[in-house]
Amino acid sequence: MSYRIALAGNPNSGKTTVFNLLCGAREKIGNWSGTTVEKKQGYFTHQNEKVEVVDLPGTYSLSVYSLDERIARDFLIKEKPDLVVCVVDASNLERNLYLVIQLLEMGQPVLLDLNMMDMVEKSKIKIDTQKLSRILGIDIVETVASKGKGLRELKEKIVGNLRRKERKIFRIDYHSLEKTIEEIASLLKDKKILSIPPRGAGVRILEQDFELLNKVKEAIPQIEKIKEKAETEITRLIGEDLETFIIEKRYAFLRGVIKECVKKEVSLEARLTFSDKLDKILTNRILGIPLFLFFMYLLFQLVFTLGTPLADLVDGFFGKLTESAKLFFENQNLPAWLGSLVSDGIISGVGSVLVFLPNIMFLFLGISILEGSGYLARAAFVMDRFMHALGLHGKSFIPMLLGFGCNIPGIMATRTLESRKDRILTILINPLMSCSARLPVYTLFASAFFPKNQGLVVFSLYLLGIVLAIFVAKVFKHIFFKGEVAPLVMELPPYRIPIPRNVLLSMWTRSFLFIKKAGTVIFLAVVFIWLLSSLPLGAQYAGENSLIGKLGKILAPLFKPAGFGFWQVAVALLFGILAKEVVVGSLGTLYGASEEGLKEVLLQHFSPLSAYAFLIMTLIYIPCVAAIATIKRETNWKWTALAVSYSLILGWGLSVLFYQIGRFFGG
Amino acid sequence: MMFLSVVEEKRLVRIVRIRGGKGFISRLMSIGIKEGKIVKVLNNIRGPVLISLGNLRIALGRGASFKIFVEYVKEGKNEL
């Protein structure tokens, strides 16, 4: 028999770390709330029991405010896993247990995982787990998931709990509301329309769970009356609304539990003091933003000063490979077209993209460190005032920052935003964040045309993307999303020194996607481009009379006003929609050259002015196919069409404007 | 009584009232911020504030800190 369990808990309590540990998986871990925005599945086997594990996004309670929380809640309530393992940050017990008791009220079988026990021990807090287990009526496991401690016992208890059938009933005393709750519960019991315990359902209905209320309204029409009566009575007696009253009672219960089970020896943790001291500087009113910019600058320096020498090595390797492939095919008397396909097409095309792997690995290393340290959430806080000016709030900043790695996780991360308006707006401007796929294009042109100021030129493009995002956000906000911004409320995790294993893992997983993309999408694209360049038979390879030459010639005039009206460039931009790296890959294929050779060819075609205009175009025009698909999935066709069309118009308009102004001033 | 947004750094304040929609108020409650709670302002960058509540550090944006009314608590009287 196989079982299904769910990992639930507050944001940033370490669910994914536990998940990876249980299933031997490699999901991304970050030190900020909202790293996991989708449910993820894995498996493990223990004592011959096969257990499916679902890792849920973090949630504070069963009342939902944002999309990722809804995913968690719906799974817990509707799918009814065989067991919920509640992963709890043991150093913040009171608030973390809130979700646990809500689940218990709903009749969910729960196993409590007190995670981060090392932090508790360090801060000299003593938790009486036996007593806690007795009060809540559930089993407790202590773990330090980040160090792999407690895994055995966790598996043991999971299987033990799954095999056990009877459970203790959990209830909280709601004082003045008890009569009403029992009344509703007995009505529900008679009708048998819900799969959750009647008492738990009654409490949920009273605390304004409208979904549940609508479900039972038809069968029990008097339920609304009962609820209204209770509402007026509570307001008269206590001066609070029902929802507040119920939440208060739960907290009162928890306070009692904490008093019983938790002994503090020292009131302030050293870790927090250290964290607060850092925050004094990093989130300082005056220093906060300059420091953030400084870190970003440092990141780009890291990407280029360390990445570029390695990239040159890779380039040398592919250059040699092209040569020896050519020789090999000539010596073996194989058909010339095959040699051309392999050396001009595949090796030049895929190679010219893979050259940038070192740069991209360093970029992902930087982002992983930012995520793991806890600084990411601070950046959102520091940027809140600035983001407010755009009509967005600080939380929208995290998706934008992630967009520098890749727009797709950036767009996905908008799920943590509570208001739909904020979400759509943040999605629309996300493609303006220069993702790592655009880096190869920037680097190639910057090193060819601005060898002395490579870092600066690339930095300027990233900055331009941000400035445009501000501008576009303002305009769209004005046209489509008038009204107030949902207020920012966000928990800041304590700073942690990122765990090297997690950082490297996260860097590797993301870099591997890049390699995979080079092996699939980009590979197919360059083969296709090579094919179009070689046909019709007899035409010169990648010449004006090849199919691709003809196609390019139709498009090229469009780009003339921007200073790069060559058909090769038009083709590169067209295929760049598949994936932005293809811009470089197809230039490599069309000019049949590796990176060094490509630079020389480009120097003949472009001036520094038109090169920069081309980079502006590459930055802005049309999100890649994968990003378009993600936007569609997260919004609808209307917004997707807007995202595609505005970026195309803006990109073209701006590169033309830049080129024409530059020429006017004699550039 | 004053807005949380104008409290100086290092001051202890008690939350007196929270304005705003039900969603906003229960969102705050689910994190642990509610009327009667005492919080310390760690950082105020003219609007957005960073507060501590026990072991928690919570960032409140400009829109949020203008919706929370607080009063001063004498230093030292309430430990955090």
SS3 A193: coil
Joined tokens for residue A89: 């940050």
Amino acid at A53: V
pLDDT tens digits, one per residue of A138-151: 999 998 888 888 88
* Spatial contact of A576 and A619, defined as CB atoms under 8 Å apart: no
Compute the average pLDDT of residues A384-406: 79
- B42 CB neighbours in chain A (<8 A) are 276, 279-280
The whole-chain average pLDDT of chain A stands at 83
CB atoms within 10 A of CB A190: 11
- A393 CB neighbours in chain B (<8 A) are 61, 63
Give CA–CA dist B61/B48, Å, rounded: 4
Chain A interface includes B32 (CB < 8 A) = yes
Nearest-Cα distance to chain A for B79, in Å, is: 8
Nearest-Cα distance to chain B for A386, in Å, is: 10
Which residues lie closer than 8 Å to A424 by C-beta, 6 or more apart?
Answer: A480, A481, A635, A639
Determine whether the interchain pair B59/A492 forms a contact, defined as Cβ–Cβ distance below 8 Å: yes
Nearest-Cα distance to chain A for B19, in Å, is: 12
Rounded to the nearest 10 degrees, the angle between the axes of helix A608-620 and helix A567-576 is 20
**Residue B25: closest CA among chain A residues belongs to which residue?**
A244
Q: What is the pLDDT of residue A1?
A: 61
SS3 A185: helix
Q: What is the pLDDT of residue A507?
A: 83
Joined tokens for residue A278: 């850092």
Chain B interface includes A276 (CB < 8 A) = yes
Q: What is the pLDDT of residue A612?
A: 93
**Residue A377: closest CA among chain B residues belongs to which residue?**
B59
Nearest-Cα distance to chain A for B45, in Å, is: 5
pLDDT beyond 90 at A134: no
Chain B interface includes A240 (CB < 8 A) = no
- A60 CB neighbours in chain B (<8 A) are 30-31
Substitution target from A489, A490, A496 for chain B, most B beta carbons within 10 A: A489
- B39 CB neighbours in chain A (<8 A) are none
**Residue A277: closest CA among chain B residues belongs to which residue?**
B42
- A494 CB neighbours in chain B (<8 A) are 57
- What pLDDT band is residue A38 in, cutting at 50, 70 and 90? confident
Q: Buried (b) or exposed (e) across A389-425, using 16+ Cβ within 10 A?
A: ebbbbbbbbbbbbbbbbbbbbbbbbbbbbbbebbbbb
Chain B interface includes A567 (CB < 8 A) = no
pLDDT tens digits, one per residue of A446-501: 988 998 888 889 889 988 998 899 889 888 988 888 766 667 788 888 888 888 88
List the single residue in B31, B44, B62 with the smallest CB-CB distance to A384: B62
pTM of structure: 0.68
